[in-house]
Structure 1
Amino acid sequence: MASNPPAPEAPFIPAQRDPEAFGYGGPRVDEGPWEEWNPTEESVSPVRGRHRVAKQRGGGLARSSTVLGVGVIAAVGAGGMASANTGKPPVSLSVPDLSVSSVGSLFDGGSSDTHQAETASLSQVGASSDSSGQDGDAGEALRSRIMAQAEKQQSKADIRATAAAVAAAEKQSADAAAKAEKEAAAKAVTAKADAEADAKKQAEAERLAKLAKQFALPVPSYTITSTFGEAGSMWSSGYHTGLDFAAPTGTLVKAIHSGTVTQAGWAGAYGYRTVLTLDDGTELWFCHQSSLNVSVGQKVSTGEVIGRVGATGNVTGPHLHLEVHPGGQATGIDPMAWLRGNGLNP
């Protein structure tokens, strides 16, 4: 950088003085005399070259700029003073390039790393300033990316929700199918049981119908006056042991089923009694008859007349007292149940 050279020191020229001028006996070296010296272009030889300023240790760009400013002001002032004192045109000054690289090179001792860092910093500032118009586009791009990511996350959430809904629907469908299958199986079991029950009923009905052809009620017209198990003092056992068919005296008494007459005659409290033994060993007792039409050892068939209704024995009126003794045992069973079990409905 070109600048004015420093002015040389003015030569000392002793002058003749009056020793009395100063009042202390004689002139002194530190008192002069001096003469005014104005440097001119002829008296001062120009110095070419660049001044180097000592490298600043603790400063940055701001400190370097301050020093540069002071140097420029001093140089301009010196040039102006020289021009004013000599009356000659001022020496032209070349102002240094104030770019970031020049300032860094001048005051940092030519350190390229510092120059590049400062240049880059200011360049980035300039770039930021230049790209301020693009901030809106960058923000819009960022917003677009955020929205795209949010949409992607929402899409994943929707997919998970859809998958969960599908799984729930499949589970519900599977549960419904299992329940329907279970109900169908239960219905099938019930239907099978009902069918079996119906089949049994039908078989029983057929059996009873067949038996009905083999069994017959003992009297054609009657009224049930006493049933099996009724308690009362009129019976020696304390309860009724048979089934009473009340009918007028002389009403025909018929064989309920085919069998053999094992007893026919007087039987005390039973009056006149006929005992018909069936092929399975069951004994049927026909009691309180007014008359007997069969004898012991006689074989009879279903519906054949064996006697007539009467009031013999321990009775209160004409009726047929019927008892059933399976296997010929002494204790009888309910005649009503036995008759119904053989297809009859008294």
Structure 2
Amino acid sequence: MASNRPAPKAPYAPANAGTQTFGYGAYRAEEGPWEEWNPTEESVAPVRGRHRVVKQRGGFARSSTVLGVGVIAAVGAGGMASADTGRPPVALSLPDLPSVGSLFDDGSADTPEVATTALSSVAVASGTDEQGADAGEALRSRIMAQAEQQQGQADSRATAAAVAAAQKRTADAAARAEKEAAAQAAEAKEEAEAAAEKKAEQKRLAELARQYTLPTSSYTITSTFGQAGSMWSSGYHTGLDFAAPTGTLIKAVHSGTITEAGWAGSYGYRTILTLDDGTELWFCHQSSISVSVGQKVSTGEVIGRVGATGNVTGPHLHLEVHAGGQATGIDPMAWLRDKGLNP
């Protein structure tokens, strides 16, 4: 390993060199005195190869590497102090760093021991520390305030959505309840109307029942309207048969006028009672007739007796109803029920 050249000898010796002694009674040139020597680029030849650089006391080691590391450490120690651009520049205080040579120590014994300071101990001045802490705390406060504001907005939106959903559910429930109530009211109204109509019909039928009566008593219904069979010339039964013993009384179903009374072929003895609305009631197969044509009769008045005259198989009353005097009759059972009677 190359080393620096030794310094040249002093250019002169003191005048009393022969008489002045240093330590051992005789003058020796290496003991001085010397004049101050400051090596310069011209006086010191460049050294080639590996060499050591002795630490320059009283200043920083002139190395961009060490200086860069120190600046990074200082900025790291400063933290968030530089976050506030409105603050004055931060003053850095660097420690006394070891020489560049110590960074490249190869373990030689002649390397001087140099006290070193850890880069982590580099810090910003106390005033700057307080400013950095204040700036960091202010930034933290702003961040927390913004986060709280955003959370509050989110909570408000969630609350508003929940309230809107609850209001919608309430409105839907109210609409359903109103619809159900309207349906129930309509149903109740319909039921009330139906009950009123039924009551009115019952009243009407009761009044009609006082005005109408069944044509006979102690009877049995043996044939109904429309019943098919070969015994009837038309192919079906045209009236309603009340089977009863011969001589059973036949009464006027309603008040009216006798328009026919006598023999009628297959109907035997027949009496026709015409009501005020033009409806004709035919009473057939009588054994006897008790009224005459043109006679006015009232409800329940006897007009004849049950018999077996005409085309019959036994004693019974054959009743036909011809609305409006038409030749084709209608169902006597339905007509009697419409008048409040139940054969």
1:260-285 per-residue CA deviation (whole Å, 9 max, x = no partner) reads: 10000110100110000011110000
> Which residue does the alignment assign to 1:124?
92
Per the TM alignment, residue 40 of structure 1 is displaced from its structure 2 partner at its CA by 7.6
TM-score (norm 1): 0.64
Structure 2 residue 193 is matched with structure 1 residue 196:
yes
Rounded to whole Å, the distance in 2 between the matches of 1:99 and 1:335 is 140
Structure 2 residue 342 is matched with structure 1 residue 345:
yes
* SS of equivalent to 1:311: coil
- Residues 122, 204 of structure 1: alpha-carbon distance in 2 compared, 3 angstrom cutoff: closer
> Which residue does the alignment assign to 1:241?
238
Per the TM alignment, residue 155 of structure 1 is displaced from its structure 2 partner at its CA by 2.5
1:51-96 per-residue CA deviation (whole Å, 9 max, x = no partner) reads: xxxxxxxxxxxxxxxxxxxxxxxxxxxxxxxxx7895575699xxx
Mapping 1:139-218, distance limit 5 Å: 146-218=143-215
Structure number with larger C-alpha Rg: 1
Per the TM alignment, residue 190 of structure 1 is displaced from its structure 2 partner at its CA by 1.5
Letter in 1 for 2:304: G
Instruction: Give aligned pairs, total.
Output: 249
> Which residue does the alignment assign to 2:12?
38
> Which residue does the alignment assign to 2:268?
271
- Residues 130, 258 of structure 1: alpha-carbon distance in 2 compared, 3 angstrom cutoff: same
> Which residue does the alignment assign to 1:74?
none
Per the TM alignment, residue 253 of structure 1 is displaced from its structure 2 partner at its CA by 0.3
* SS of equivalent to 1:291: strand
| Structure 1 stretch displaced more, 124-133 or 227-236 | 124-133
CA RMSD of aligned residues (A): 3.4
Structure 1 gap ranges (5+): 1-35, 42-83, 101-119
> Which residue does the alignment assign to 1:26?
none
Structure 2 gap ranges (5+): 1-9, 16-28, 39-56, 61-87, 95-121
| Structure 1 stretch displaced more, 153-162 or 218-227 | 153-162
1:190-240 per-residue CA deviation (whole Å, 9 max, x = no partner) reads: 211211111111111111110110000000221111100000000000000
Contact 2:283–2:319, Cα closer than 8 Å, also in 1: yes
Normalized per residue, the structure richer in helix is: 1
Contact 1:38–1:85, Cα closer than 8 Å, also in 2: no
Structure 2 residue 197 is matched with structure 1 residue 223:
no
> Which residue does the alignment assign to 2:305?
308
Rounded to whole Å, the distance in 2 between the matches of 1:89 and 1:337 is 160
- Residues 37, 172 of structure 1: alpha-carbon distance in 2 compared, 3 angstrom cutoff: closer
Rounded to whole Å, the distance in 2 between the matches of 1:37 and 1:217 is 174
- Residues 125, 266 of structure 1: alpha-carbon distance in 2 compared, 3 angstrom cutoff: farther
TM-score (norm 2): 0.64
